[in-house]
Structure 1
């Protein structure tokens, strides 16, 4: 019966991140630097809120868009943090993680043949969803622009079929951000065009030494922008699966239909925990952010001391060093690093062809693990 499976689904590959993560299971003595998951536990007050919800039998369905209390908390949070105003009754949807938010956004705005401009290298989950919607991913090569998509690149790639521009910043896998000036230049290109912007801001609370800005804050942009955010990274709640979509009502009302028939609603227990996170835990990310910054500085300095070319990330918790000088492709290097050096990193090729020649290293691990990982990495490259 496999010949009857949807062709677009058959042609999709399992994420390169997960493929490599699964390979690591065969090497229990390897240092694991692959997965983008905070190593901090969910804050206690949030866990207690989840327990309380269970004890009080708050375990039934909620409104499709989420609890009124949570929608209000989410819109208050994004206004307090980023000066963005959304109506909690009509312009926010609580999703099952940011991933489901991305899915319903693309399924709402894309049709057969719609083009989506996105930076390469980029998080690998976007392209499969675009293709399953009948869309066409169109990549901007950001390797010569500090891994940042530019207004000039976007303008050169726009066609009559362009339906959306993807702005995933702070970036997974590079940790790069777009500055206020860079966003303003992109807004200038897009504000008078009938093109959506899907802005994945899941790492917005993990920006170092400066503020996070959203493209939706610029004149003429909120009306066409769909913001994706959530609590996985900011509040170390990956397994709770709570994300948010913020969009103008005339867009959100259509996404809500897709969401409704897709999942009905997010977990009620997780939603009550999320209310706590966004009210009593507004600044929970602060301590984690400070620790990540120390880790970033340590690993970055170690790589530079080894003679490795790497852009210093300004957000998220990844470094994306070049390994091109070693004469191995990204997958070959990563496999040998794992098998011989006993360090697991994700080959850059998992993040599109534009990631070839690079390696993604997550520093969402303790300093002890990072120190040993860097020591092993240094010993390994000395053998090449």
Structure 2
């Protein structure tokens, strides 16, 4: 797998650390559950990716998953999280990532060149990402401070509303046109991210929010962990019109491994073959081109296909792609090359 190290658009390992489920030392030495640790990353060729700092909503995630097994569902957006609560989680998230680096699990990266250098290393390349910007202040002082600390990617919303914009719900079947887009404050946030060269993540934004970002940004449009609505008509997925906008901006999409966003029936059920992922791959390549598709697993934040299981199972996906006719050149692009390209173009280094 060293020939095709995977740079991944999204994972939620940091949330496990913040909840006290695991320690940085355990991630380094190896775990018996979850999706990511250093030994399994080395075994599966997981070279690193965007490590999300995420503030969870109150409530039981298992209840949401139970709803998402049904033939149709419409789960209301969670309540807004306060800035005070979000700030505590976010500050601890930065510290958790730094602890992972100290423990030898990751190598924090601030440029595309650093990512490229780190991909063959024993430590995972880690880019600091905020998913849901509730902790960002209106004057953007914290955004500048966190950028200096290493923040290089940000999603204005998760699937709940913020002062910046409106999240897309977990709804099937549904298109992503589910409500208003960015607020005026949210539009200012996009401009500030452009100034700092922070990647703006479209995943979890609804259709009007994506349109707003497209009108404002001077950077490539990127959805770090999203799939094709034409294959799975879930509100979290991207329509062909949105994919065409991303293509025209020379951006990219990371294929999300979450079962409910892959399966045409929208069910949160991991028992299916990887040919469903290949359907998304084919559609995304058809709309975006070979240079604009990568992987965005959502490891440690989603129920992933059973044939993959965790990051040590990535060779199964590589083999499926190989059997599907993907040659070495395209494989290198899909596993890491396209991410390196768009990061260079967004960050300027």
TM-score, normalized by length of structure 2?
0.32
TM-score, normalized by length of structure 1?
0.30
Larger radius of gyration: 1
